[in-house]
A and B are shown apart, each in its own frame.
Chain A
Amino acid sequence: MALDVFIQTILNGLTIGAIYALLALGLTLLFGIMDILFFAHGALYMFGAYSAYYLVVSFGVNYVVAAAVTLAGIGLLGAVIEKVLIRPVRGEVMAVFFIAISLNWFLENSGFALFGIKPKRIPPIFHGKVEFLGATLTWERIVVVLISLAAVAALHLFLTRTRWGLGMRAFSEDPETAELQGISNDFVCTLGFFIGSGLAALAGLLVASLFIVTPTMGEHAVLTGILIIALGGLGSIPGALIAALILGFIESFGASVLGADYTWGPMFMFCVIFLIIRPTGIMGIERS
């Protein structure tokens, strides 16, 4: 493999991994705190992308303002979903599972009716590219990687250094004892959905300028996210980041070295073998 191709392959893996980490972040939070595999995460990611698209392209809103509005709006939507649909069945695993899947299908098909069949993309916000030893990386991708890493770090700090974050972790350990300590379970769950949905929207609005926005873009995203949280260790944010990067590099090297067909196959095989050896994932812990 020529040096420029090798460098390009590494850069590709890093970018893909960072994007995967962002996709998985919200799912990781919801699973880590509430034991909920929220399949509708993909639909919220899609809505985040469309929200940013319409605000920037149709209404001419500044991208940063559009991002803030989108994050808040989709976060609120997530909070409403939690209060109206999830809270009444909280604790009933299968009910939550089916509600999440049904909601995902409903939102995805609503996407066709609301947004039409034509794919869209936000025009590039950052122009130009950087060349390094024959490899290229656009400024768009660099910014997405930096924001992804910042989001992972910010979430980790939130959960470990803030009162609300510690409250959420206490809830995940033992909801009853947390309630006795004055931590409102309802508030924790609503906040969790607000943040998780906001993270889905963040992923959507960032990739809306890199890739294409379609009503079905969430399907692939949520499956990738589930793979990452399983590999990273259910509920572990550092684990999700490491898993995302590993899968990003496998995808990149698989396609570049072995062939375009060797992306999902090697990724799944790696996950299966790893989880057989270490079922808790990279940084997961045994759960009772």
Chain B
Amino acid sequence: MKVKRIRIWLGLLVLAPVLLTMTLVSPAQAAPEEVVFGAVIPLSGPAAPWGIAMQNVWGMLTDQINQAGGMTVGGKKYVWKLVAYDSAMDPSKTVSAVNRLISRDKAKFIMILDGGLVQAAQPITEKNKVIVVAMATPGKDYINPKNHYTFMYGMDAMTASFLYPWVEKNTDVKTVALLHPDMWTGKATAELTRYGISLTKLKIVFDEFADQAATDFYPVLTRALATKPDFLAVANWDPAVGALLIKQARELGFKGPMHLVTPDIPTLKEVAGWANCENIFLDPYIDQPNPTMKAFQDEYIKRYGEDQWPGPVGYSMYDYPGWYTQAIQETQSFDTTKIVGYLETMKMKSIWGEPAWMGGKQYFGIARVPLYPIYIGQVKGGEVKQVIDGLLPGDL
């Protein structure tokens, strides 16, 4: 009897700390639940540099959000988990990856690179009310009232709507040659550029598409420059290809201004040669990166290496992990219909400055394009001058 009592007391002594710990550990301190953010991006093939950069940016930013505490919804902790699949820029692979993200990984948010691939996925994502972040140039084919859950990542070539009125007012340019990459981004850029020029009296003398994978652009540029344009728009080519176009246009004798979207100055200097960049409009360009941009770039380079930094386009990928986290926190919900409704009116901060908001209702019929201050530079005398400095876009 005495031995039995001793055993009971000993057992209680062993169990007591365990029971105490269990009662003190609240549900919120249990491992947070993961919320999948899917990515269907090229991780192989010629477009892999873009996909790898996106994966890196998102990976880093979601880690930062998670380390800062993640999200709390309904008293429960959640963290982001990035799940990426290789689209190889192929529509059928994209659709398979999207299906896998939705059915197996339970993703409610997916980023997809390229407007054509976004369109391939939209029948599935819209049906499943999955929010898509289109990493592409805004295009009416995929940004329209029928696609309620598709958002753009940023303004991209919509800035053309503001550049051309500036060019008309501040330069002697009268005629413009447009050379677009032969892909969905190019098609969307072409629409936006033509729209921007339609707001002016400038005349388009050349307007064609060329193969992005071409090695030598002399034949195409010979044709474009035969129309004797004052201005050559090579917007939205891959930054290195854009730089090559600039170099070759200068070799063929073109001396006028050019427009390049998503420029990377080290790439321009290396591929085009800085002397050839005189008179080029760099869009976006900010001559004094703000502390957020500096911190982001430094952290990215520290984590992945200088050679992996994608240039200023990296800044444009910065905002939306934070925006979606904010929307979830504010709505206290993962219901994507609620989140979409909130995003339409959400007051946002952008790495490019404030204010930022979802716009595009006038042009696209639905507010799905983040609008924020615009910064465009022009190379003059070997230096980049800020010609458009924090211009608020107004709605489009």
Q: Which of B20-28, B45-53, B115-123, B325-333 contacts A (4 or more CB under 8 A)?
A: B45-53
In the complex, the chain A residue whose C-beta lies closest to that of B180 is: A260
B74 near A: Cβ within 8 Å?
A: no
A277 near B: Cβ within 8 Å?
A: no
Chain B residues contacting A207 (CB-CB under 8 Å) are 215
A118 near B: Cβ within 8 Å?
A: yes
B105 near A: Cβ within 8 Å?
A: no
For the complex, give the distance between the alpha carbons of A13 and B264 in Å: 31
* Distance to closest chain B CB from A208 (angstroms): 11
Q: Which of A16, A215, A260 contacts B210 (CB 8 A)?
A: A260
Q: Which of A109-117, A158-166, A192-200 contacts B (4 or more CB under 8 A)?
A: A109-117
Query: B-facing mask of A132-147, CB < 8 A → 1, else 0?
Result: 0000101000000000
B310 near A: Cβ within 8 Å?
A: yes
B356 near A: Cβ within 8 Å?
A: no
Q: Which of A8, A115, A117 contacts B222 (CB 8 A)?
A: A8
Query: B-facing mask of A1-39, CB < 8 A → 1, else 0?
Result: 110010011001101100100000000000000000000
For the complex, give the distance between the alpha carbons of A121 and B308 in Å: 16
Q: Contact between A216 and B209 (Cβ–Cβ < 8 Å)?
A: no
Chain A residues contacting B222 (CB-CB under 8 Å) are 5, 8-9, 12, 252, 255-256
Of A12, A123, A138, A219, the most chain B CB neighbours within 10 A belong to A12
**Total interface residues on A, using CB and 8 Å?**
47
Q: Contact between A116 and B208 (Cβ–Cβ < 8 Å)?
A: no
Q: Contact between B48 and A260 (Cβ–Cβ < 8 Å)?
A: no
A63 near B: Cβ within 8 Å?
A: no
Q: Contact between A260 and B252 (Cβ–Cβ < 8 Å)?
A: no
With A116-B308, A212-B244, A214-B240 as known contacts, state yes or no: A15 contacts B216, CB within 8 Å.
Answer: yes
With A12-B219, A219-B46, A220-B215 as known contacts, state yes or no: A119 contacts B209, CB within 8 Å.
Answer: no
A263 near B: Cβ within 8 Å?
A: yes
Q: Contact between A254 and B215 (Cβ–Cβ < 8 Å)?
A: no
Chain A residues contacting B46 (CB-CB under 8 Å) are 214, 216, 219
For the complex, give the distance between the alpha carbons of A136 and B222 in Å: 10
Other than the given A9-B222, A214-B240, A259-B208, 8 more pairs (CB < 8 A) read A8-B218, A8-B222, A121-B271, A212-B244, A216-B45, A260-B179, A260-B208, A263-B214
| Interfacial residues, chain A to chain B (CB-CB below 8 A) | 1-2, 5, 8-9, 12-13, 15-16, 19, 109, 112, 115-121, 123-124, 129, 136, 138, 207, 210-212, 214-217, 219-221, 251-257, 259-261, 263-264
Q: Could you list 7 A-B pairs, sorted by A, with CB under 8 Å?
A: A8-B252, A119-B238, A123-B270, A207-B215, A255-B220, A261-B209, A261-B211
